[in-house]
A and B are shown apart, each in its own frame.
Chain A
Amino acid sequence: MRLSIDRFLKILLSTFFIQTSWSFFSMQGMGFLFNLIIGTSKEKKNQIMRTHRGFFNTHPYMASYIIGATIRAYDEQTPPEEIKKFVAVAQTSFASAGDLLFWQTIRPALLLIAVVLGIHYGIIGPLVFLVIYNILHLYHRAQGILDGYAMGWNVIYVLKARRFKMAQQIFEISGALFCGFLSALISFRVGYLLAIPLTILFTVMLLRRHPALLLLFIVLLIIIVFAVV
């Protein structure tokens, strides 16, 4: 089964809004409903509203895989209970994979690269981030819909694909490499030796999982101390 181009584009555009009305009650629930209704025929609207009204939460980029598979299920007249079961299982699997891949690896690694390049070469840093990040992010958004629609329930096995592991490894290595580059930025100046105890302090705080707010207050305090002294 294949999606027509205009239907694919409509779904793709709607996935950009998946988190628009994010709330603690349904998280991306309304966004998911909105995506499904855009992607299916009008006759199915009532059935979709009855089946999927409520909680839905996954990684925003990876939601495309679930949306593609769910739209196919509605096209094939699959019973709603079965669709609901698939969505419940798939959302947690894609959420953890997406969080690990994008939020914990690709985005911070590319931002680290952007910062190092930005400090040295100006505008190139942010532009490199925007280009590479959006190629990867849009690829998952678009390919997710296509894979989901083509593979149906089996789309969950996409998570075992080599491309996910490879991307994660590549960006972990890039992050580690540019972490080294960043440390070289502050070498050769005596005043910059202060960065060593500060780095140790912040690393210990992060490893001990102190709240982000406390970390922010410590940074604020250090900024005030540096400014006063």
Chain B
Amino acid sequence: MNLFVLSLIGAVIILDKYAFGEFGISQPVVSGMIIGALFGDLASGIFLGAMLQLIFLGGLPIGRVIPPDGQAAGIIGCGSYFFIRPFNAAGHALFVAFVLALLGAIIGGIMELYTRRFNEKLSHLIMRKENCLSVCHLAGLVTAFLRGFFLFLPIFIVASSISIPALFPELSRESATIICVSIGLANGIYLFVKKTTIVYTIIGALCGLALTVF
């Protein structure tokens, strides 16, 4: 998979975040599946997507709040992993992919602020020229696409060109699972566990244990 092509695909997927539809395709667990399928390793794509999803489970875009870009993190994390993995150890690839994903989420959030500020100019333009409503409004698709493309391309260039020395820290899948499940559980407890629902959490844990044992 060419990094330019993956940046284009990523930029199309990220349109789903708010610019078109919001069908959930940009959620890390889904984008991880798509990118994994493109690289011919569905299992790793879903694993990475699922882990990153747990980190960004609670990011709620309510009102003017723009949380860190979890959707971009999913695309960056999975894409980077598959670019790094062929030339490096799995532990190294996982570590760098996670770091790039989390940094990408922060940079993506900042870029989103600027994109939305640019969209303000389109709003002001409509105040002056009423006839260009459709063009100005749909220009938002271009700004959202470019935001994604210019976020992904440099990160994928870095990911595909680095060679990690053997002494560099490695992140095992077990360690990644511990960290991500912890924050996923915290998000789940924060969102769902109340006096009225705690009994279902206990039932879920017991069912999970039973499934693991048998």
Given A122-B46, A198-B182, is A104 in contact with B140 using a C-beta cutoff of 8 Å?
no
Q: Do residues A119 and B47 form an inter-chain contact, with CB atoms below 8 A?
A: yes
Q: Which segment, of B5-13, B155-163, B200-208, faces chain A?
A: B200-208
Q: Give the nearest-CB partner of B46 in chain A.
A: A118
- Measured CB to CB, the closest approach of chain A to B68, in angstroms, equals 5
State the CA gap A184–B209 with chains docked (Å): 5
Q: Which B residues between 16 and 53 are near A, CB-CB below 8 angstroms?
A: 18-25, 27, 29-30, 32-33, 42-43, 46-47, 49-50, 53
Residue A159 CB within 8 A of the other chain: no
User: Is B55 on the interface with A (CB-CB < 8 A)?
Assistant: yes
Q: Which residue of B lies closest to A105 (CB)?
A: B191
B138 at interface, CB cutoff 8 A: yes
Residues on B with C-beta less than 8 A from A189 are: 174
- Select which of B53, B192, B204 is within 8 A of A172 by beta carbon: B192
Distance of A119 Cα from B169 Cα, bound (Å): 25
Chain A residues with Cβ below 8 Å from B55 are 216, 219
Asked if A202 and B200 sit within 8 Å, CB to CB, the answer is no
Q: B209 to A22, Cβ gap below 8 A?
A: no
A192 at the binding interface (Cβ < 8 Å): yes
Closest to A49 in B: B130
* Number of inter-chain CB pairs below 8 Å: 302
| Nearest residue, chain A, Cβ from B181 | A186
> Are B27 and A17 neighbours in the complex by a CB distance under 8 Å?
no
Cα A137 to Cα B57 in complex, Å, equals: 18
In the complex, how many residues of chain B place their beta carbon closer than 8 angstroms to a beta carbon of chain A? 98
Given A125-B29, A222-B179, are A182 and B185 neighbors across the interface (CB < 8 Å)? yes
What would 4 more interface pairs be, CB under 8 Å, given A21-B119, A115-B50, A119-B50?
A21-B139, A129-B27, A130-B23, A134-B24
Interface residues of B (CB under 8 A from A): 18-25, 27, 29-30, 32-33, 42-43, 46-47, 49-50, 53-55, 57-64, 67-68, 91, 95, 98-99, 102-103, 105-106, 109, 116-117, 119-120, 122-124, 126-127, 130, 133-134, 136-141, 143-144, 169-171, 174-179, 181-194, 197-198, 200-209, 211-212
In the A-B complex, the 7 residue pairs with the closest CB atoms: A180-B204, A184-B208, A202-B186, A21-B140, A227-B169, A179-B188, A175-B192
Q: Chain A interface (Cβ within 8 Å of chain B)?
A: 16-17, 19-27, 29-31, 33-34, 37, 46, 49, 53, 57, 60-61, 95, 99, 103-105, 107-109, 111-112, 114-115, 118-119, 122-123, 125-126, 129-130, 133-134, 137, 172-173, 175-189, 191-192, 194-195, 198-199, 201-203, 205-207, 212-213, 215-216, 219-220, 222-224, 226-228
